[in-house]
Structure 1
Amino acid sequence: MHRKLATLALVGTFSLSMFAAEFITIGTGSVTGTYYPTGGSICQMVNKNKKETNIRCSVESTAGSIYNVNTIKAGELDFGIAQSDTVYQAYRGEGKFEGAAAIPELKSVIAIYPELLALVVSQKSDIKKITDLKGKKINLDSPGSGTRFTANIVFDAFGMKLSALAPTNELKSSDGPTLLQHNQIDGYFFLAGHPTANIKDAANVVDISIVPIEGPSIDALLKKYPYYAKGFISKTFYRGVPNDVPSIGVKAVLVTNSKVKEETVYQVTKAILDNFEKFKELHPAYKTITKQSLLEGLSAPQHPGAIRAFKEAGLL
């Protein structure tokens, strides 16, 4: 009799524990991309504290930024990773979301790592800065791509017209290394998380340089387009690049819904901040980030739970 009562008590306790547990899901991207391991890393840190917080985290492979934002809006995901320009436009109902309802309930948590614009050129092209592109053969990527969109904005910032180039290419950035190898172009633009196999491939077949994208024109650009942020491409990433290269790009941002509890968002943010150095070791794309950079490039208002964690860490 006593044994039966004890068993019932244990079952009751277990059931209560399971009932009280909170399960959260982070939407990411394809399993071969950077978003998926990023979400997995965050869940790993959150789950390390599950006995104290009673929060269980899982990661889901998705179609990426736009899917994650729309699914968070529908309440089917608790968190998701999305590009900062997508977040900005979704929050305001602009750009890719023009004609659709804005998503004011979309909230930023942290800006994880930069996806920086690289202008990869052959060293023999003698291109040292953006204004040296006049008369050069440059691949701009296909119309409608994130790379092409950002490259166009950079040209505008420097007061340059595409007509100043030699006949341009509009092929995918994935074709860049081959075009460069066969002297069909002097350089190409590519917006990506770094390091990337694309530029490593180019550096293995051609002596390359990566052109700095900086200066007062870029400072003005950042004021006009707040979803861009500064960063640098580490000199350790690519053969033939001896110095860190400043550039701009979008950020991969962890976002959530305003309806997600403050305590939940606080615990997720705190887990990242408390384990930050270990987090940086989990993927090469995190090499250049700092705790302060987690606040740069947030393109929707930050969730109160995240603000609380950053204030507690002395970063706000």
Structure 2
Amino acid sequence: MAVQPTKPGSVLSLSWRLVVESRARTVSVGISTVWVFVILAALLVSHASAKTLTIGTGSRGGVYVALGYGICDAVEKSFREISCNVVRTKGSIDNLIGIAKGEFDLGVVQSDIQYHAVTGTGTFKNIGALPTVRSLFSAHPESLAVMTKKDSGIEGLADLPGQRVDIGKVMSGTNATMRLLFEAMGVPLTAFRDIATLDVKDQYDAICGRDVTITAYLAGHPNANIKKLVQLCDVTFVGVAGSVVDQLIASNPYYVKTHIPKTAYDGMDRDVPTIGLLATVMTSDKLDFVIAYALTKAVF
């Protein structure tokens, strides 16, 4: 049976283009050849209409929104058959629920929230697991910055007990991570002189005014709020490393070892080891296989 010609802007034509590109890289029967047949199989079920992707991100000015626009830009530049819309949301949980409901094709999700959504634990204990969500790729680490003023005398985690410590806003990723860190250290919250749960906007006054000795923030780096603390408040970073990190990751596999690069902020002379989560681009099992491949190919 003759193959019908395809419209230039259709998913079907996109499938053929991916087949041609894959076949051009094939020099012998092997992985590339198998990949061609996989694409051909997907081609048979692809619908012949242009595709618009909607990606759930985060709040205005946040790194998730920037990531969403970056993904859309890469996709639209690489494949004219696909258009892309960025939607601002409240973050990871909204994005996952939106994906499960079919409101979003894609969503940026923090790896701990991803884990709980798949297993039906933590934040999703009452909501229940979301069996249809899938991971496409990890984008960037969100690293824990533990900060103190340079003249505080604090050199490592062992110096934290007895201090006034801000562990971040309740229900935030920072708060959850700091609690897990103290648990892995074997240090109860009662071991600290005071525990504050500050919003990001209140951290500047607290650490600069010495209301707290330690403040923390889980974020992608460089971060504008942390830049302000470094430039105007003379803060430095406390490394998070050692056996305590190994123990934390063993119990919570959605965390990774990472670092804050010395190029991130003024005055840094070394990378600072720490822990973090991964920003993951998620989708559902309903996303066309050809589209999923094309999107990932465009980004990488």
- Work out whether the TM-score is over 0.5: yes
CA contact (8 A) 1:207 1:240 kept: no
1:265 positional shift: 0.9
CA RMSD of aligned residues (A): 2.1
Matched, 1:76 2:103: yes
1:176 positional shift: 1.9
Other-structure match for 2:135:
108
1:15 positional shift: 9.4
Other-structure match for 1:38:
67
Q: Deviations over 1:144-173 (max 9, x none)?
A: 222111101001111112222222223223
CA contact (8 A) 1:139 1:173 kept: no
Measured in 1, the distance between the counterparts of 2:169 and 2:72 equals: 35
1:227 positional shift: 1.2
Measured in 2, the distance between the counterparts of 1:119 and 1:222 equals: 17
Other-structure match for 1:22:
51
Task: Pick closer, same or farther for the CA change 1:15–1:254 going to 2, 3 Å.
Answer: closer
Measured in 2, the distance between the counterparts of 1:65 and 1:15 equals: 32
CA contact (8 A) 1:178 1:202 kept: no
Other-structure match for 2:164:
137
CA contact (8 A) 1:228 1:248 kept: yes
Secondary structure of the residue that 1:125 maps to in structure 2? coil
1:110 is matched by which residue type in structure 2?
F
Measured in 1, the distance between the counterparts of 2:235 and 2:174 equals: 19
1:85 positional shift: 1.1
Matched, 1:166 2:198: no
1:227 is matched by which residue type in structure 2?
Y
Other-structure match for 1:293:
none
CA contact (8 A) 1:137 1:186 kept: yes
In structure 1, list runs of 5 or more residues that go unmatched: 1-11, 274-316
2:195 is matched by which residue type in structure 1?
T
Identity of aligned residues (%): 36
Measured in 2, the distance between the counterparts of 1:15 and 1:226 equals: 42
CA contact (8 A) 1:208 1:241 kept: no
Measured in 2, the distance between the counterparts of 1:78 and 1:14 equals: 23
Task: Pick closer, same or farther for the CA change 1:162–1:253 going to 2, 3 Å.
Answer: same
How does 1:219-230 map onto structure 2 within 5 Å?
219-230=246-257
Measured in 2, the distance between the counterparts of 1:210 and 1:252 equals: 22
One of 33, 46, 59 as aligned partner of 2:86? 59
Task: Pick closer, same or farther for the CA change 1:182–1:266 going to 2, 3 Å.
Answer: same
2:96 is matched by which residue type in structure 1?
V
The size of the alignment, in residue pairs, is: 260
Other-structure match for 2:283:
256
How does 1:137-286 map onto structure 2 within 5 Å?
137-273=164-300
Measured in 1, the distance between the counterparts of 2:73 and 2:197 equals: 41
In structure 2, list runs of 5 or more residues that go unmatched: 1-5, 14-46
Task: Pick closer, same or farther for the CA change 1:187–1:20 going to 2, 3 Å.
Answer: same
Measured in 2, the distance between the counterparts of 1:140 and 1:29 equals: 22
2:287 is matched by which residue type in structure 1?
V
Task: Pick closer, same or farther for the CA change 1:115–1:15 going to 2, 3 Å.
Answer: closer
CA contact (8 A) 1:230 1:249 kept: yes
